[in-house]
Structure 1
Amino acid sequence: MLKIYRETFGKGKPIVMVHGWAMHSGIWRSFIGQLAQHYKVTCIDLPGHGRSEKIEPFTLEQISTALVNVVSDEPICWLGWSLGATVVLDIANWFPDRCRSLILLTGNPCFTQKQQWPGMDDKLLDIFADNLNKNCRTALLRFLTLQVNNLPGYKVLLKELEAAINECDIPDSQTLQDGLKILKQSDLRPVLSKIAIPVASIFGNKDILVPVAVGQKMQQLLPAMELNIIDKAGHVPFLSHQQEVLSIISRFME
């Protein structure tokens, strides 16, 4: 079986946390310390990220199956951040009996901009993919900067992001490119519209990567979805606005 790294902290209702593109579960460290005071929190490294083995091909189907295989059989709350939100939506589609609820943290079921759907310009993703081939580390640092740019205390947040990503080897170029391909090509809006379990979404109104306007569009697809918008937050509200995110999760879980 593929080796997927995971760590579990705390006791209580189970939450499984799935990180974003190019990251690993170490990004959650300061956040988990507080969340695990109330819940049983499991953090997973995506295949080819952190301390998990690489998977080929790095596709949503392969990723979802690998993650479901390393957690308990009970229905759980899946929390996904950014690319992780795409992954947990896919898990809810293919493994509904393993999902009690979903928390989508600055995620977009259709990451790139479509007609009447806000998202990232796919041409920018293409440029980013090209820059990865030229200088991977420089491109990643640029990506980290976009997550906290123009936020109060952004220099401190950027250092925290850089320290987290440097704890482990950077995923190889193919895994990173495949992750961008997932973001560019996946459209899980039909999945979101049919979900029958509780879903909460969390957005930052200063997020450059995932426009806050996505939230209202998602709620139109799934009117029962709980929509939360954090003022003056960007793409990493679990770092910049920990207490607000913790309060939202606690309210949703209870």
Structure 2
Amino acid sequence: MSIEQNIAMTGPLTYQTIGTGQDLVLIHGWGVSSAIWEPVVKQLSEHYCVHLVNLPGFAGEPELETYSLENVAETLLAYLPEKAVWCGWSLGGLIATYIAHHYPERVDKLIQVCAALKFVEAASWQGVKKEVFSAFKLGVTKQPQKTLNRFLSLLAMGSETVKTDITTIKQLMSDQIEAKPSALLGGLILLDEVDLRDEFSQLTMPSLSLLGEHDNLVSVANKTKLSELSPMNQQVILQQSSHAPFISEPILFNQVLISFIDA
């Protein structure tokens, strides 16, 4: 299969397409850019037309006046395929889930990668402690670069290849334009406040939740809750991974995605 690559400058959004076939949208998480997907893109592009998009305010993209799920979703939908498989990691998974609920006609299948429906802990729901999130938001306000560097290390903490993973993540991000402070803070506020459990329970398309066994940010303990909320949802746990399984176990990660998409 031939691989076609196109860099599209489309007003406020820059995106990259690689490959041909069924459309697959990859949405990165907080604090990084679409470059984070590099370890898995080549193989995926041999099967699909992969769309790599940078969220507003990240990697040099213009920032939004109001950083809401609705505004982010509308920005992405204006330029991405009419129908695609949407795969979002962490914050990107929250965005993809929102789109799947509010614009189901645009989503063929939904893939959540280490993405919580609610990131902060609540009754009968395991998540990041509220005070930890508050401290992180304060850090972004006062020392954004130091806080971001700390976060990049947290992405791989606990994985069985932690040192290699951290090195890979920092190399992938080393030449990227820094995210705008408003986007960093806006993204954290979304992670802090948004709860999509009800919306997730109403989804009608097939969905896959891919989790890392050693993830310190998104607990695998909520796996049962996902099944209760949506019996159609499939869950796969990558045993050697933390919060970035496409870095820790890229070959297995792709195998899981391809199997789900092609089913």
The residue identity in structure 2 corresponding to 1:29 is E
Counterpart residue number, 1:36 = 45
Please list every run of 5 or more consecutive structure 2 residues that lacks an aligned counterpart in the other structure. 1-9
The residue identity in structure 1 corresponding to 2:258 is S
Counterpart residue number, 1:191 = 199
Q: For 1:7-31, what per-residue CA distance to the aligned partner results, in whole angstroms no more than 9, with x for missing partners?
A: 0111111100000001111111121
Counterpart residue number, 1:174 = 182
Counterpart residue number, 1:91 = 99
Alpha-carbon distance in structure 2 between the residues aligned to 1:52 and 1:172 = 9
Alpha-carbon distance in structure 1 between the residues aligned to 2:238 and 2:162 = 16
Matched, 1:49 2:58: yes
Alpha-carbon distance in structure 2 between the residues aligned to 1:153 and 1:245 = 15
Alpha-carbon distance in structure 2 between the residues aligned to 1:159 and 1:125 = 25
Counterpart residue number, 2:80 = 71
Alpha-carbon distance in structure 1 between the residues aligned to 2:186 and 2:11 = 18
Q: How does 1:220-231 map to 2 (within 5 A)?
A: 220-231=228-239
In the TM superposition, what is the alpha-carbon distance from 1:2 to its structure 2 partner? 4.8
For normalisation by structure 1, the TM-score amounts to 0.96
The residue identity in structure 1 corresponding to 2:112 is L
Counterpart residue number, 2:4 = none
- 190-199 or 27-36, which moves further after superposition? 27-36
Alpha-carbon distance in structure 2 between the residues aligned to 1:13 and 1:169 = 30
In the TM superposition, what is the alpha-carbon distance from 1:215 to its structure 2 partner? 2.0
Alpha-carbon distance in structure 1 between the residues aligned to 2:174 and 2:130 = 27
Alpha-carbon distance in structure 1 between the residues aligned to 2:167 and 2:146 = 15
Matched residues, percent identical?
28
The residue identity in structure 2 corresponding to 1:111 is F
Q: How does 1:1-254 map to 2 (within 5 A)?
A: 2-73=11-82, 75-254=83-262
Please list every run of 5 or more consecutive structure 1 residues that lacks an aligned counterpart in the other structure. none
In the TM superposition, what is the alpha-carbon distance from 1:165 to its structure 2 partner? 2.2
In the TM superposition, what is the alpha-carbon distance from 1:166 to its structure 2 partner? 2.6
8 A contact 1:2–1:53 mirrored in 2 = no
The residue identity in structure 2 corresponding to 1:38 is H
The residue identity in structure 2 corresponding to 1:26 is A
8 A contact 1:4–1:51 mirrored in 2 = no
Aligned-residue RMSD, C-alpha:
1.2
Q: For 1:111-138, what per-residue CA distance to the aligned partner results, in whole angstroms no more than 9, with x for missing partners?
A: 1100001111121010011112222111
Alpha-carbon distance in structure 2 between the residues aligned to 1:93 and 1:153 = 35
For normalisation by structure 2, the TM-score amounts to 0.93
In the TM superposition, what is the alpha-carbon distance from 1:214 to its structure 2 partner? 2.0
8 A contact 2:40–2:251 mirrored in 1 = no
- 212-221 or 184-193, which moves further after superposition? 212-221
